[in-house]
Structure 1
Amino acid sequence: MIEQDVDGRVRTITLDRPAARNALTVAGLEALEAAVVDADEPVLYLEGAGPAFCAGADLDAVADLDADGAAAFARLGQRVARAIESASSVVVAGIDGPARGGGLELALACDVRVATPDATFGEPGVTFGLFGAWGGTVRLPRVVGESVAFDLACSGRTLDAEAALRTGLLSRIVDEPRTVAAEIAANPPDALAVLKRRLRDDADRETRERREAEAFADLVAAHADDVAALRE
């Protein structure tokens, strides 16, 4: 269900259940969490096998849950999304084909989202009386703004790649998203790790600025020779 491959500084994590559009069961979520937590490469690249990125939760599994089980399933999905968000690696979502429901929510937890022209995005849960509960109601308005988040969540409509780019859901549309992961991984790993911590920091402004200055000073010291070479 989860396949992994390491190529230099990039670990690729593939959701590998193409017959089910890479929908995730409890076992799949736990395997994805373990893959993210165990990784120590500077860049993680998350993709789906086959013609879809991820359809989200396996609805066959959800249909059999009682209220307690549904809450536990939601908390597990939230935990996986937090693991992606808090990973020391920069996590790149490479989206080709549909990203729906929980699949979109996992993409929202990633640091960089790039897609092919064939990618589509949606939170269709409302159309059958549900909603995305893997942190989607928290991250979606943060990424695309409150108005667009309400529209997407409450209508269940689908965005194509160009529309997703306009809303800020994507940073790029490319033919091969994996090349973006390689481009990022070509940079110094310590700088990438510091940038992730700084960009994800949710402390007050004064604290963030102090931490930024301290981190910058540390990198200047660590890369003194590189900085000196730029002057030559």
Structure 2
Amino acid sequence: MIDVTVAAAGDAASDGDATRDGTASPIRTITLDRPDARNALTVDGLEALETAVDDAEEPVIYLRGAGPAFCAGADLEAVGDLDGDPDRAAAFARLGQRVARTIADSPSIVVAGIDGPARGGGLELALACDVRVGTPDSSYGEPGVSFGLFGAWGGTVRLPRIVGEGAALELGLTGRTIDADEALRVGLLSRIEDEPRTVAEEIAGNADDALRVLKRRLRDDNERATQERREAEAFGRLVNAHAEDVESVLE
């Protein structure tokens, strides 16, 4: 794949796909792999990322960047190649939105392991993930306003939902960069860890079907009564499927 590498669970060549006790971890590791360009994404890179997520059969996906950055966002040369054509620019934005939706809608739990900068579209892809874990050296920003643009891969929808409207407006309108501590404080990060993958492993240790159902329910954007009905039905199915597990906890 161009710009993106994939290590499926159990691959001998995968980087860190074993748990600490040496057993295979049910995690697909997807690496944004253009370290010389801070993992900025071209059209080909976005399409490769979409395919890597869409093809996943593992219950957990761990999304990371190669080298000293998570992702600098859209490749500015690719943006320059749009030649100012509004239709082509809108199509590029829709591609980024589609990839972010693929991440958000994946039946797998997608954990972003963020080390170094997550900027613009890179931040927007992280926002689409279910869990965001940053290292102490990670940083975050939507700098597009400084050169007349803004993040258009779904960030204007997801950022205020995650950090609140006030924080989203301030971050977007100033274009400033925040560090990991501030990102945790405003709710952009779930945790700060030296090794973000440990959170993916923690999640992967749980029942696959429960993970899928819980993600669907927490991601459900229907009105409340519909959400509550679906929640009750899903709980009933899981209780039926895991009756013996529940009994073992009670013993």
TM-score by length of 1: 0.99
Query: 2: distance between equivalents of 1:213 and 1:206?
Result: 11
Where 1:44 maps in the other structure, the secondary structure is strand
Gaps of 5+ in 1: none
Q: Which residue identity is paired with 1:40?
A: E
SS at the partner of 2:159?
A: helix
Amino acid at match of 1:99: A
- Bigger drift between 203-212 and 189-198 goes to 203-212
Shifted more, 35-44 versus 1-10: the winner is 1-10
Match of 1:170 among 179, 185, 189: 189
Query: 1:6 Cα shift?
Result: 2.2
Corresponding residue for 2:155? Answer: 136
Identity of aligned residues (%): 73
Q: Which of 80, 85, 103 in structure 2 is aligned with 1:84?
A: 103
Q: What is the CA-CA distance between 1:69 and the residue it aligns to? A: 1.2
Map 1:42-121 onto structure 2 (within 5 A): 42-65=59-82, 66-121=85-140
Q: How far apart are the structure 1 equivalents of 2:108 and 2:5?
A: 18
Name which of 19, 28, 32 aligns with 2:45: 28
Task: Verify: 1:4 aligned to 2:21, yes or no.
Answer: no
Q: Secondary structure at the match of 1:211?
A: helix
Give the drift of 1:230: 1.4
In structure 2, what residue type is equivalent to 1:32? L
Cα deviation, residue 70, structure 1 = 0.8
SS of residue in 1 equivalent to 2:48: helix
Compute the displacement of 1:3 (Å).
Answer: 0.6
Write the distance in 2 (CA, Å) between the matches of 1:64 and 1:110. 28
**What's the CA shift string for 1:45-88, capped at 9, x where partnerless?**
10000000000000011012022111110000000000000000
Partner of 2:13: none
1:183 aligns with 2:198: no
Residue 204 of structure 1 deviates from its aligned partner by 1.1
Runs (4+) off by over 2 Å: none
Q: Say yes or no: does 1:156 pair with 2:175.
A: yes
CA distance in 2 between partners of 1:35 and 1:231 (Å): 40
> How far, CA to CA, are the matches of 1:200 and 1:40 in structure 2?
19
Distance (Å, rounded) in 2 between the aligned partners of 1:203 and 1:2: 34
Give the Cα separation in 1 of the matches to 2:57 and 2:152: 28
Deviation at 1:9, TM superposition (A): 1.1
Q: Match for 1:34: what amino acid? A: T
> C-alpha deviations, 1:11-64, integer Å up to 9, x for none?
000000000000000000000001111111100010000000000000011012
| Partner in structure 1 of residue 233 of structure 2 | 214
The reply to whether residue 202 of structure 1 matches residue 221 of structure 2 is: yes
Q: C-alpha offsets along residues 101-142 of structure 1, whole Å, 9 cap, x if unaligned? A: 000000000000001000000000000000000011111100
Higher helix share: 1
The SS at the match of 1:163 is helix
The SS at the match of 2:8 is strand
1:121 is paired with a residue of what secondary structure?
A: strand
Given residue 23 of structure 1, which amino acid in structure 2 is its aligned partner? A
Query: How many residues of Structure 1 are paired with residues of Structure 2 in the alignment?
Result: 232
The alignment's TM-score, normalised by the length of structure 2, stands at 0.91
